[in-house]
């Protein structure tokens, strides 16, 4: 859908009422109105819109705090130079629109202060002529082990500590 606004000046002429002066005024006004038609169009506002799929990233530390002000580089498939760069906001969020003419796996690098992550996002080619409403998908990429609850972390630390204690006791055992 497009919206187009065209402004023009009204041409007023009245021979019987205005006489010679009226003619002159009308002629000048007409010249101004017709000659300035292009300029009037240039002052118009043209607004169009297009629905495109957008990808919203949210980067957090594994402790849950937002990865704020981190640098983002977006790489199209099979390219070494980023097509877009930017920064995450205070909530660790970043929004970008992949070019659907370049389907494949887009790579997004997030980093700040030597910390960061690499995310691979598959982007399908645009097939439908009309955009359809889709439920937002949430995908996650972590730098490794994932995000665990404190209880899960506690169990993991306990398991490792138990293993280390077992190793220590094994080495301290009395040799019969």
Residue ranges that bind other proteins, judged by CB under 8 A: 61-63, 65, 69, 71, 73, 81-82, 85, 87, 109, 111-118, 142-146, 148, 153, 156-157, 160-161, 163-165, 167-169, 171-172
Q: Give the contacts of 148 (CB within 8 A, at least 6 positions apart).
A: 62, 156
Whole-angstrom distance, CA of residue 65 vs CA of residue 86: 20
In angstroms, what is the minimal distance from the CB of 96 to other proteins?
A: 15
The nearer residue to other proteins, 31 or 161, going by C-beta atoms, is 161
In angstroms, what is the minimal distance from the CB of 82 to other proteins?
A: 5
* Token pair recorded at residue 169: 């006791």
In angstroms, what is the minimal distance from the CB of 104 to other proteins?
A: 18
The nearer residue to other proteins, 30 or 116, going by C-beta atoms, is 116
The nearer residue to other proteins, 55 or 72, going by C-beta atoms, is 72
Whole-angstrom distance, CA of residue 57 vs CA of residue 109: 11
The nearer residue to other proteins, 87 or 100, going by C-beta atoms, is 87
Q: Are 59 and 66 in contact (CB under 8 A)?
A: yes
Whole-angstrom distance, CA of residue 134 vs CA of residue 161: 47
Whole-angstrom distance, CA of residue 87 vs CA of residue 64: 18
């Amino acid at each position: 859908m497009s919206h187009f606004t065209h402004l023009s000046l009204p041409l007023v002429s009245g021979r019987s009422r205005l006489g010679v002066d009226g003619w002159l005024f009308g002629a000048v006004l007409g010249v101004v109105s017709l000659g300035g038609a292009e300029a009037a169009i240039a002052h118009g506002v043209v607004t169009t819109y297009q629905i495109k799929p957008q990808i919203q990233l949210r980067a957090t530390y594994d402790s849950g705090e937002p990865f704020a002000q981190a640098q983002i580089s977006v790489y199209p498939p099979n390219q070494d130079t980023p097509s877009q760069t930017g920064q995450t906001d205070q909530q660790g969020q970043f929004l970008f629109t992949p070019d659907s003419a370049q389907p494949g796996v887009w790579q997004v690098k997030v980093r700040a202060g030597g910390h960061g992550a690499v995310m691979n996002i598959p982007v399908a080619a645009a097939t439908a002529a009309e955009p359809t409403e889709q439920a937002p998908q949430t995908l996650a990429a972590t730098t490794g082990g994932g995000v665990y609850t404190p209880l899960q972390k506690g169990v993991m630390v306990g398991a490792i500590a138990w293993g280390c204690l077992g190793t220590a006791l094994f080495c301290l055992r009395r040799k019969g």
